[in-house]
Structure 1
Amino acid sequence: MKILTLIQVMIASLIFFPARDYTQLPSAYRLAYEEVRCQAADGTQLYGWFMPAAESRATIYFLHGNAGNISDRLYKTEGWVKRGYSVFLLDYRSYGQSKGSITSENDIYQDAEAGLAWLRNEKKTALSDLIIYGESIGSAPALYLAVKRNFKALILESPFTSLADVAKIHYPFVPSFLLRQFQFNNLERLRQIHTPVIILHGIQDGICPYRMGETLFREAPQPKELVSVPEGRHNDLYELLGADFFDKPIRFMVQSAGSSS
């Protein structure tokens, strides 16, 4: 059992690169914020920031990628809040001020569920007013939540089809059976959702190749949209798209809401 646990920790260290220290606070962007503390089903204490927008149009639940922590996503948050969207940033366990460690994909799902429960219980946020944002590996918990519920929209930035597909590219030496605890099968989950989905993907993405975004888009139910960024890599879509980084998803959400009414 100890050997198995050690292997799981080693595999997790190849996937997740958490940072404890926050490089900045929302106040650096003149954003009002509320510190959030919630608890996962297994008792792990989690931490995040809720940033309300004046006369909020909807709430974005932002599930971040595998490196850094929530402070590294504030530059994206600012654009959403200025456009009238409240944003909730949650750190998974082992990131920032969240406690615990990650030993399986279920840990990430528990954390995502805890954040959603906080929004539902404390902010009384209706599912129809909630946008789930999955950045890179955050696309996995985003899709996990969307399989069970219908949200206003799902935004996936630089997503992947499954962790096994990504591992074949970056860690071909890792036997597939060692990834049992970290499958993150996004493609299978995407086929089960009933939420409008927009995918933003760089054609030059060397981490989660663009073809993965194309595959996810092809298998996604309508309404859906794929925003392809010709020069885009994995982490620079915000810089390359500029205002369209926010405005294209907003237009998609307006159109998809109109088509369903």
Structure 2
Amino acid sequence: MNGLSFSELCCLFCCPPCPSRIAAKLAFLPPEPTYEFVSDENGKCSFTLTDRAEWQYSEREKENVEGFYTRTNRGNRIACLFVRCSNTARFTILFSHGNAVDLGQMSSFYLGLGSRINCNIFSYDYSGYGVSAGKPSEKNLYADIDAAWQALRTRYGISPENIILYGQSIGTVPTVDLAARYEVGAVILHSPLMSGMRVAFPNTKRTWFFDAFPSIDKVPKVMSPTLVIHGTEDEVIDFSHGLTIFEKCPRAVEPLWVE
């Protein structure tokens, strides 16, 4: 979350309070794009990285990465990435990444992660991130993951029971929203936040009507097995967020607290 002064926060929340503006000010830091989708004459996209993406593998291994666009129900064209890490993978992870990164910067991590745990990885860039159109907002976050979910289900024919939802930091917000509506193989929440107000004002005890990202109110509806990961010394999203989310999960498994 961005560092704002007390007076700026007061102005932001009081003149007048608007969840989408709060979200944009506090949560979204899209970087300069580190990749491109280049379409050939048949409309197939090739995934081209800049040096800032810091690709850690050979050019040949890029053949395992498929990029394409899909459109959200709010009209934004967003970038999606399917990383085929294993031909024998039972599960595919639908990964919602953290803030201040895009698919290019995450691509090496995805390939390494999937190869180690024998899973394929499907990810997407939020509206306004990477080469995705539109602007970052709370409503767009939910529309973005819905579009990614539909693309994963229809384009690759993957059943919900073979999908693992993984959200990191701000990515836990759309992950919880989707998981509250669909039952999947499993859910992983890495450094989740209870809500925007609770991050900005740690003593907040209830969800106000103008609060953004109210995951704390949605997580009781998540019926899939859920792993919560959180650093006990996290300086961005306090450990109390992960602990409370864990306590509210109906099907939480043993958490992973990173010291």
TM-score of Structure 1 vs Structure 2, range by shorter chain:
0.7 to 0.9
- Given that 1:40 and 1:46 are in contact with CA atoms closer than 8 Å, whether structure 2 keeps it comes out as yes
Distance 1:34 1:26 in 2: 15
Q: Which residues in structure 2 correspond to 1:121-140 (within 5 Å)?
A: 121-140=154-173
Cα 1:97–1:28 shift into 2, 3 Å? farther
Q: In structure 1, what is the equivalent of residue 244 of structure 2?
A: 215
Q: In structure 2, what is the equivalent of residue 51 of structure 1?
A: 83
User: What's the CA shift string for 1:119-144, capped at 9, x where partnerless?
Assistant: 01100110000000000011010010
Q: In structure 2, what is the equivalent of residue 249 of structure 1?
A: none
Cα 1:8–1:201 shift into 2, 3 Å? closer
Deviation of 1:197 after TM superposition, in Å, equals: 0.4
Q: In structure 2, what is the equivalent of residue 101 of structure 1?
A: 135
Q: In structure 1, what is the equivalent of residue 119 of structure 2?
A: 85
User: What's the CA shift string for 1:45-93, capped at 9, x where partnerless?
Assistant: 0002100122112100000112121223234313332121010110000
Cα 1:27–1:99 shift into 2, 3 Å? farther
Cα 1:7–1:217 shift into 2, 3 Å? closer
Find the partner of 1:118 among 146, 151, 155.
151
Q: Secondary structure at the match of 1:148?
A: coil
Unaligned runs of 5+ in 2: 1-14, 35-51
Q: In structure 1, what is the equivalent of residue 214 of structure 2?
A: 185
Distance 2:31 2:223 in 1: 34
Q: Secondary structure at the match of 2:256?
A: strand
RMSD over equivalenced CA pairs, Å:
2.6
Unaligned runs of 5+ in 1: 231-261
Distance 2:252 2:200 in 1: 30
Structure 2 residue 67 is the aligned partner of structure 1 residue 35: yes
Distance 2:23 2:165 in 1: 27
TM-score by length of 1: 0.77
- The structure that is helix-richer by fraction is 1
TM-score by length of 2: 0.77
Distance 1:214 1:8 in 2: 26
- Given that 1:20 and 1:94 are in contact with CA atoms closer than 8 Å, whether structure 2 keeps it comes out as no
Distance 2:121 2:201 in 1: 34
Find the partner of 1:17 among 29, 34, 53.
29
Cα 1:223–1:166 shift into 2, 3 Å? closer
- Given that 2:23 and 2:212 are in contact with CA atoms closer than 8 Å, whether structure 1 keeps it comes out as no
- Given that 2:83 and 2:111 are in contact with CA atoms closer than 8 Å, whether structure 1 keeps it comes out as no
Q: Give me the identity figure in percent.
A: 26
Distance 2:57 2:131 in 1: 18
Number of matched pairs:
221
